Amino acid sequence: MILTLACVVVVLTGMKAAAGVLVPMVYAFFLAVLSFPLLRWLTRHKVPGPIALGITLLMNLGVLAGLITLAVRLLISFNSDLPRYLRGVQRNLTDFGVWLDENGIVGAKDTINSLFDWNTIIGYATQQDVMSRIGSMLGSTFGTLATVFAGLVMILILMMFILIEATGTQRRLAAVRTSGGPDFSGLLRSVSDIQKYLGIKTLISALTGLLAGAWCWFFDLQYPLLWAILAFVFNYIPAVGSTAASIPAIVEALVQHGGGAAIGIAIGYGGINFALDNFVQPTLLGNRFGISALVVVLSVIFWGWLWGPLGMFLAVPLTMVMKVLLDNSEEFRWISVAMSQKKMRRGEVEMVGYDLDENEIVGGGASTEKPGH
């Protein structure tokens, strides 16, 4: 066990040090997995291979370039208004502290005002530009803003070659196994699961962004399109992404229209996320992606620590790949079982994705677990 943990530390240290190379590779792989159905559909409809590949790459490039360009322009416009919004937040907090003082909480105003150095924050917001902020946010992964664009080019190039090599992958892996290599059939099956997950997650994220943008427009916010893009992008981060995406819209509603509008925006975001995450997404995904909710949250924290903000967006797909690899290992299959989502059947706890014998029980808690099983 000590040797295994030491090896894990060495591997993680290497992955963290090589984030500038590994992150573009991982993103290229998952974008290729997400784009392959379009390429396959074009080739099945008699479109020549090079043309189908070019159409697929152009669509990916068009979507990425369009979103990035639009988001940066909106952020530049929002950046000029940011000091005004910060002053509005300061004013509302001060008013809230005065209200607390008037209702018997002595010193609340001074305590709230001492929490933040507003002059420094507003001065920093005035001096810093959008691109430097983006670079600092991604600095934990890429280091500088220049390497962000180099990473995007690397992603597109790698994605092109992955799509070129995608056809015939199953036969190639079978040949590798026949030649005495490892069996990658489980990992290949996980690719289709990841493909389905990414496709459905993209659809859910698009619906989230569309509904959030419409809700912000209904409340007459100044940047509904920016908040729609933010909701779309951050919805890829499980558990915390949707909540984080709602904060700027709530702040803008508070500054522009007061507390009632801010509460309305918060209720709208909460309703959208609750409906899509608890009704639409489970209906589309089913029980096939059985990862515990706790594991999902921990994976977001782990991949965020390892590869920065960009690691959070792929926390679930990367965890799914890890789960498949562990599931195919006799020594560490128990970790895969522990990561699984549990469900109830006939009063007993089952782990999703594992078929149990009639008398075999996998306990999930004190209320249902039987001693000795």
Strand partners, 343: 350
Q: What are 206's two structure tokens?
A: 């698009």
Provide the pLDDT for residue 359: 46
Provide the pLDDT for residue 289: 60
Provide the pLDDT for residue 177: 81
To 10 degrees, what angle do helices 19-44 and 293-307 make?
Answer: 120
Give the C-alpha separation, 323 to 326, whole Å.
Answer: 5
- pLDDT tens-digit profile, the chain (373 residues): 899 899 999 999 999 998 888 888 999 998 898 898 889 899 998 899 889 999 999 998 898 888 888 888 888 888 888 888 888 888 888 888 888 888 878 777 788 777 777 777 777 666 666 556 665 555 545 555 566 677 788 888 999 898 888 877 778 877 888 888 777 776 776 777 788 888 888 999 999 999 999 999 999 999 999 999 999 999 988 878 888 899 999 999 988 888 899 999 999 999 999 998 888 877 777 655 667 778 888 888 999 899 888 888 888 888 888 887 787 777 788 888 888 766 555 555 555 555 544 444 433 333 333 333 3
pTM of the shown model: 0.79
Give the C-alpha separation, 245 to 313, whole Å.
Answer: 13
Instruction: Give the chain as a 3 state SS string.
Output: CHHHHHHHHHHHHHHHHCHHHHHHHHHHHHHHHHHHHHHHHHHHCCCCHHHHHHHHHHHHHHHHHHHHHHHHHHHHHHHHHHHHHHHHHHHHHHHHHHHHHHCCCCCHHHHHHHHCCHHHHHHHHHHCCHHHHHHHHCCCCCCCHHHHHHHHHHHHHHHHHHHHHHCCHHHHHHHHHHCCCCCCHHHHHHHHHHHHHHHHHHHHHHHHHHHHHHHHHHCCCCCHHHHHHHHHHHCCCCCCHHHHHHHHHHHHHHHHHCHHHHHHHHHHHHHHHHHHHHHHHHHHHCCCCCECHHHHHHHHHHHHHHHCHHHHHCHHHHHHHHHHHHHCCCCCHHHHHHHECEEEECCEEEECCCCCCCCCCCCCCCCCCCCCC
Burial class (CB in 10 A: 0-12, 13-18, 19+), 363: middle
Q: What are 68's two structure tokens?
A: 């990035």
Provide the pLDDT for residue 216: 95
